[in-house]
Amino acid sequence: MDRAILHSDLNNFYASVECLLHPELRGKSVVVCGSIEDRHGIVLAKNMKAKKAGVTTGMTMFEAQRLCPDLIGVEANFDTYLDYSRRVRNIYLEYTNQVEPFGIDEAWLDVTCCLRAYGSAENVAREIKERIKKEIGVTVSIGVSFNKVFAKLGSDMKKPDAITVISRENFQSLIWPLPAKELLYVGRKTAEKLQKLNICTIGDLARANRGLLEQHLGKWGGYLHTYASGQDIAPVRKYDERTEIKSVGNSMTFYKDIVNNNEAECLVYVLAESVAARMREYGFCRARTITLTIVANTLEHTTRMMKMQPPASTSKEIAEYAMVLFKKHHSWQNLVRGLGISVSDFLAQEQLCMGESVIMREKTETLEKTVEQLRNRFGRNSVLRGVVLQDAKLSSTNVKETHVIHPVSFKK
């Protein structure tokens, strides 16, 4: 018997919550954004009316209001969105313990256990959809399929407030004509590589030679062929199942455009301190690899990584490596809108390198642990680096708790 997999996607989640809490916004064009005062607001989410007017995520409020003059901007309240996300998740958990979150507003559910009681996965999806609308007050689109990748595609096909069933009988007619970029894990650069191979649709990808894909895309070429062919067998994890942590990171969209290396270094140190603190929380001594993502004000993303030698454990080391990457790969043709830092390839036990100043490292690590203890007791911003004090607004931001990079895990 095939598995019954749902992918649930809360429609326009941030904007929907704001319209729910503020009835005066209903029926109007609404976006949720960052600080309107400092940056004219960066659009983080929009409701359907704003979307129809052409507003897209990442625009400034100024740009969005040129497209939609009656647009209303609401500043983001992530604590509230997390609370609503938890309430929705609790509904999911009444049906199955195999609930795998995919960000704050999406989740996979394996409801195979419900089939005898409900007759079909579509019936389960319909009841969940109606309960969320009635008990929470927001709408959801749900994809129903026999694997996770196709369920995700289903939830994207009809919005808002819809259910799409993708079965073994209809997936070739429903999914294969779609552009290849619609498939999960096919990003812009991968889509461009596929285009050069004359692979334009998901069907083209499924029919392509697996060896050719692996030759041009590496192991991911094989994975994508598996996904497009409907052969994904990845399980939906149990909600309380702890997965192996392969990377730790933080990112942040700055409240204004970063215009020089000094401003970039200020944000880099804030992010590096958060990353180092998370490493210690998870019990990692050091990391061998650092990845830096630079988001230009054109919304173009540049991601670069390097091996850290010796492996890093302190925020100072992480920041220094990040700045090496930043200076090497950003030429200032465009200003910078945001940065992200993540580290990976962890060492669980201490391994000192030859020639390393052991005493200096121990002093730095002891200092950072002491600072972290003070922050845990008196607040995140009770102790700050001098470089961070150059920017009063940044120094008052709790980056560690509100700007986590949540990596998507992959299982064969």
Q: What is the dihedral of CA 266, 269, 271, 272, to 10 degrees?
A: 160
Q: Classify 202 as helix, strand or coil.
A: helix
User: How far is the C-alpha of 201 from the C-alpha of 293, rounded, in Å?
Assistant: 29
Catalytic choice (18, 100, 106, 273): 106
> What's the token pair of residue 33?
């954004």
Burial of 134 (0-12, 13-18, 19+ CB in 10 A): exposed
Burial of 250 (0-12, 13-18, 19+ CB in 10 A): buried
Q: Are 236 and 108 in contact (CB under 8 A)?
A: yes
User: How far is the C-alpha of 309 from the C-alpha of 172, rounded, in Å?
Assistant: 49
CA proximity to 371, closest of 356, 386, 359, 358? 386
Burial 353-367 (b: 16+ CB within 10 A, else e): eeeeeeeebeebbee
User: How far is the C-alpha of 52 from the C-alpha of 6, rounded, in Å?
Assistant: 27
Tell me the CA distances in angstroms from 277 to 242, 294, 373, one per residue in order. 20, 22, 10
Provide the CA 331 distance to its chain's centre, in angstroms. 26
CA proximity to 208, closest of 234, 233, 186? 186
Q: What is the DSSP letter of 135?
A: I
> What's the token pair of residue 137?
């007050």
**Could you confirm whether 169 is annotated as catalytic?**
no
User: How far is the C-alpha of 129 from the C-alpha of 138, rounded, in Å?
Assistant: 9
Positions marked catalytic: 106
